Amino acid sequence: MAKTLYDKVYDAHIIKAPGDDNLLYIDRHLIHEVTSPQAFAGLKEKNRKVRRPDRTIATMDHSISTRSLALDACGPQNALQLQTLANNCAEHGIELFAVGHQKQGIVHVMGPELGLIQPGMTVVCGDSHTATHGAFGALAFGIGTSQVEHVLATQTLKQSKAKSMLIQVDGQLAAGTTAKDIVLAIIGRIGHAGATGYVIEYAGDAIRALSMEERMTVCNMSIEAGAKAGLIAPDETTFAYLQGRDYAPTESHWQDAKTYWQTLYSDAEAQFDKVVTLKAGDIAPQVTWGTNPGQVIGVNTPIPAPNDFTDASERESAAKALDYMGLQAGTKLSDVAINQVFIGSCTNGRIEDLRSAASIAQQGKVADNVTAIVVPGSAAVKRQAEAEGLDQIFLQAGFEWRLPGCSMCLGMNDDVLQKHDRCASTSNRNFEGRQGRGARTHLVSPAMAAAAALRGHFADVRDFQE
């Protein structure tokens, strides 16, 4: 029978099928300080061990300062959480990339750049943006802390089969539009819960043309449409990215691995439960106007009115969002002033993102009333950016250049916005209060964020030089 890519990866990991909840083997488990302490405490309570410390990798990312390497830089509670992770990793023999380690980074930036994520793997992490790793053709999804404990103890997870959705992005992206714009446009089309209960496979010429980092940006936000996971079939772009990375298969196993990886695609006759098609050429640079990522428009589209929505629930959500965001329907985005810019996160904190932002940043200075920070996604991204002189471009333009971490995406450290701050952010969630109580978040691509920083309001990046 014809199989989808999701079927193939799922089926290859079934240990047993007890009724409606299959038991799947988990190949890679990524952990961090926020969602793991209670899981380790649970193990201790039952006197259980970590089954595969060799398949578990830890990093510090959410609770850490982006100004100091000290664990207590953001207060004693954050320090306790970070120290707890260090203690748990030491006790169970788990490799940890702590603050200051050359391999430290946001869990979803660090994993791929080290070659830890490979096609056909099952990957989990106590973080919803684990969907990122689907860019490699891995089945990757976020889990809760009880499930983290289950994976630590058994290296398996009960996981029923989701429905399948094919999202086909045909044609070519226009100049000035990016992977971030693709995924925001997709969520705008299918809605914030449009893929709940589904695993998405992204396909089509526009997806094939993306680099691995761009594919990660697309898959990263699968959860923002409610999807369990988002996958892209591996190809030569994937193999070239992986070859030679620290944890990728060694030369003696490379050909065997690649031969297997090349079987990982959806068969031509495979059936999907739902198919969505977009034309890449129709996608303009995207900006969210509301309080969920599905409330998004092209940069030159006026802000919608509640009555523009036919669905009653969407109408109510729109009215509430406009109120929270302090926006009037019909306003042009170029008339919406911002005072904060955040460039970074597991969505857009990789080297290509920083290059893209820097190419705009070098064309001017950060506007007077704007605070703009650039937070590399990992220590490796930071080193690479500094080797290329990107840090100097940002600093000379008036951006702050910080240490790697999750930072203002969720503000578990001191990178928190104040009430009524308005932020152009390259992160993934524009929820009420996400970046700070009463703060207003607009999701954009790195280039659009840099453009907003220079202008002091949203601006069409296509009006800048290439």
Site for other proteins, residues 246 to 265, rule: CB under 8 A: 249-250, 253-254, 256-257, 260
User: Whole-number minimum distance, CB 88 to other proteins, in Å?
Assistant: 10
List the x/- string, 97-126, binding to other proteins by CB under 8 A.
Answer: ---------------------x--x----x
AA identity, residue 5: L
Region 347-406 residues binding other proteins, contact defined as CB under 8 A: none
Residue closer to other proteins, measured from CB, 62 or 457: 62
Return the number of the residue (309 or 464) whose C-beta is nearest other proteins: 309
Residues 124/151, Cβ–Cβ less than 8 Å: yes
- Backbone phi and psi for residue 275, each to the nearest 5 degrees, phi listed first: -130, 130
Beta-carbon contacts of 265 under 8 Å, excluding residues fewer than 6 positions away, are 5, 233, 234
Q: What share of the chain is helix, strand, coil (3-state, %, to 5)?
A: 40, 15, 45
Stretch that binds other proteins, among 40-48, 178-186, 334-342, 350-358 (CB under 8 A): 40-48
Interaction with other proteins in 45-64: which residues (CB under 8 A)? 45-46, 48, 51, 62-63
72: contact with other proteins by CB under 8 A: no
Sequence-distant (≥ 6) Cβ neighbours of residue 238 within 8 angstroms: 119, 135, 136, 137, 212, 261
Q: In terms of DSSP H, where are the helices of 119-230?
A: 145-154, 179-190, 205-208, 212-220
Per DSSP, the three-state class of 139 is: strand
CA distances from 268 to 34, 207, 273, 274, 282 (A): 42, 17, 15, 15, 26
Q: Which is nearer to other proteins, 191 or 302 (CB)?
A: 191
Q: How far is the CB of 391 from other proteins (least distance, A)?
A: 27
Q: Which stretch binds other proteins (CB under 8 A): 79-87, 356-364, 380-388, 394-402?
A: 79-87
Least distance in Å: CB of 268 to other proteins? 26
Of 44, 69, 70, 77, which one interacts with other proteins (CB under 8 A)? 77
- Kindly state the smallest distance separating residue 32's Cβ from other proteins, in Å: 11
What is the rounded CA–CA span in Å between residue 434 and residue 413?
13
Kindly report the length of the chain.
466
Least CB distance to other proteins at residue 38 (A):
5
Q: How far is the CB of 304 from other proteins (least distance, A)?
A: 16
Nearest distance from residue 33's CB to other proteins, in Å?
Answer: 9
Rounded Cα–Cα distance for residues 316 and 40 (Å): 42
Query: Contact with other proteins (CB under 8 A): which of 228, 422, 442, 457?
Result: 228
Q: Using CB under 8 A, which of 68, 86, 103, 154 touches other proteins?
A: 154
When the beta carbons of 324 and 464 are compared against other proteins, the nearer one is 324
Contacting other proteins (CB under 8 A), which of 197, 244, 281, 326? 197
Distance CA 181, CA 87 (A): 41
> Using CB under 8 A, which of the segments 139-147, 269-277, 382-390, 393-401 binds other proteins?
139-147
Element (H, E) at 346: helix 345-348
Contacts to other proteins from residues 304-343, by CB under 8 A: 313, 316-317, 320
Which of the stretches 11-19, 100-108, 264-272, 273-281 binds other proteins when contact is defined by CB under 8 A?
11-19
Among 5, 10, 29, 35, binds other proteins (CB under 8 A): 35
Count of residues of this chain found to bind other proteins when the rule CB under 8 A is applied: 75
CA 284 – CA 102 distance, rounded (Å): 37
- The interface with other proteins within residues 398-457 (CB under 8 A) comprises 410-412, 429, 431-434, 437
**Counting contacts by CB under 8 A, is residue 150 touching other proteins?**
yes
- The amino acid sitting at 22 is N
* Minimum distance from residue 153 beta carbon to other proteins (Å): 5
CA pair distance 449, 372, nearest whole angstrom: 9
Q: How far is residue 49's CA from residue 154's CA, in Å, rounded to a whole number?
A: 9
C-alpha pair distances (Å), 274 with each of 6, 264, 331 = 14, 20, 35
Considering beta carbons, is residue 187 or 270 the nearer one to other proteins? 187
Fill in the amino acid letter for 161.
K
Find how far residue 44's CA is from the centre of its chain. 32
Which of the residues 276 through 305 are near other proteins (CB under 8 A)?
A: 292
Q: Smallest distance from the beta carbon of 326 to other proteins, in angstroms? A: 16
Q: Does 23 bind other proteins (CB under 8 A)?
A: yes
Residues 6+ apart with CB under 8 A from 156: 15, 23, 24, 25, 26, 150
Cα-based angle 91, 92, 93 (whole degrees, multiple of 5): 100
